[in-house]
Amino acid sequence: MKIYRGNRTSPCDVVVTVDGKPLKHIVYHSPTGFNWGYGGSGPADLALSILADCFSSPRPTLNVVTKKWYQIFKREIVASWEGEWWMITEDEIREWLVNKLKIQRREKP
Query: DSSP letter at 69?
Result: H
- Domain enclosing residue 12, as ranges: 3-107
Q: In sequence order, what are the beta bridge partners of 16?
A: 6
Q: Residue 97 is which amino acid?
A: L
Q: What is the average per-residue pLDDT within 79-83?
A: 96
**Nearest CA to 42 among 31, 53, 57?**
31
* pLDDT tens, residue by residue, 33-79: 999 999 999 999 999 999 999 988 665 557 777 888 999 999 999 99
DSSP string, 69-100: HHHHHHHHTGGG--SSEEEEEHHHHHHHHHHH
- What percentage of the chain carries pLDDT values higher than 70? 93
**Which residue would you say has higher pLDDT here, 80 or 57?**
80
Q: What is the pLDDT of residue 57?
A: 62
Q: Give this prediction's pTM.
A: 0.90
Count the domains in the chain.
1
